[in-house]
Amino acid sequence: MDRKHALRVAIVGGGIAGTALALGLIKKGMTHVKLFEVAPAFGEIGAGVSFGANAVQAIKQLGIGEDYHEIADSTSAPWQDVWFEWRHAHDASLIGTSVAPGVGQSSVHRADFIDLLAKRLPQGIASLGRQVIGYEENNNEVSLKFSDGSSYPADVVIAADGIKSALRNPLLAAAGHSAVKPRFTGTSAFRGLVETAVLRDAYRAATLDDHLLNVPQMYLSEDAHVLTFPVKKGRLINIVAFVSDRHVEHPSWPADMPWVKAASKEQMLNSFESSGLAVKTLLQCIENPTLWALHDVEPLPTYVHGRVALIGDAAHAMLPHQGAGAGQGLEDAYFLAELLSNEAASAADVPALLAAYDEVRRERASRVQRTSWEAGELYEYKNPTVGRDSRKLKDALEQRLDWVWQHSLDDEVKKALTLC
């Protein structure tokens, strides 16, 4: 039997990164792949998710590019290459435009994307309603432990179980590092989906230029910013209104309070009193906003130990200010699908393969984490050298993501294989 077919891969978590990895491994001919998800069905809370050029490339290389484009949204011509137009929130004046040639603002509803991935998994791959609580590892294999007392043996375990990962701290402890908890960043986001036709009517009634609805927008202001982009083939506009509380150095979120909860329109509008008419009209059209407490994790000292590795938000949960979090999870998925399916790899090689993953991927993902936080500071006029100066903002904003987007995944894989 081909050694790559014999490799037993267990994936914990059925979100974007975990499901994409399972699909990538299956497409590579791996026959012993199992995905465990605690929920009784696949699904994602949330609204739209934006993918940069690097993420779209990873989707293509995972073999689902055509399927993705059937459900994805993009800006209509002649603005199809625009990622965001940047504006001051108080008067909607244009600061600059970020362009991603050939991709633009590629976005999709999270639930639709998970559905796309999950439907392409063969029967028997996914095991739903299974809560992983830990693992045990010896030199030859790793055994997942479940809340019902059962276990599952594997040659490699990939933890893709999100920011609240059950396996992250056991892995860090095994590697000799301190535990890491999700941290509240002090930023919250009001979210809503509004029919584009409703917004267009509201903008025209307010004598606002409805071009602002044709192109993804980012409105900047002191301690707040608001973004818009289309989902559901342009029928809906995804609106996310961020507000940051900077009164305390180390903000906290009550332990007994959910991270996502219903909010009132009044609460949302009060948070954006200083914004101009374009932003207020957007928010006024959100009938039932939700409020999201944005958490992240600090960059980790390692993503792996032995036969266990962290990917996606379990490894590098970040703020959404660069639209790059899901993309890093997709990069992880493609990278590990290539590495674990390598024809020369056997079960004995797994620790070395994962060490190469850590060596190559962690530096990039950690940088994306750091710069995502920095982006939020920039958008809210907190960059000390830029502030609210339009010319400096334009220079800082228009090319800041080139290094994220223009990235070769295959070069990463080749580098890793030289380390194994």
Nearest to 407 by CA among 3, 139, 53, 15: 53
Q: Which of 87, 168, 191, 361 is catalytic?
A: 191
Say if CB 156 and CB 8 are below 8 A apart. Answer: yes
Q: Does the annotation mark 191 as catalytic?
A: yes
| Residues 18, 274: Cα–Cα separation, whole Å | 41
Q: How many CA atoms lie within 13 A of 317 on its CB side?
A: 20
3-state SS, the chain, equals CCHHHHCCEEEECCCHHHHHHHHHHHHCCCCCEEEEECCCCCCCCCCEEEECHHHHHHHHHCCCHHHHHHHCECCCCCCCCEEEEEEECCCCCEEEEEECCCCCCEEEEHHHHHHHHHHCCCCCCEEECCCEEEEEECCCCEEEEECCCCEEEECEEEECCCCCCCCHHHHHHHCCCCCCCCEEEEEEEEEEEEEHHHHHHHHHHCCCCHHHHCCCEEEEECCEEEEEEEECCCCEEEEEEEEECCCCCCCCCCCCCCCEEECCHHHHHHCCCCCCHHHHHHHHCCCCCEEEEEEECCCCCCCEECCEEECCHHHHCCCCCCCCHHHHHHHHHHHHHHHHCCCCCCHHHHHHHHHHHHHHHHHHHHHHHHHHHHHHHHHCCCCCCCCCCHHHHHHHHHCCCHHHHCCCHHHHHHHHHHHC
Across-strand partners of 309? 158, 304
Q: How far apart are CA 302 and CA 176, in angstroms?
A: 10
Task: Report, as residue numbers or ranges, the catalytic residues.
Answer: 191
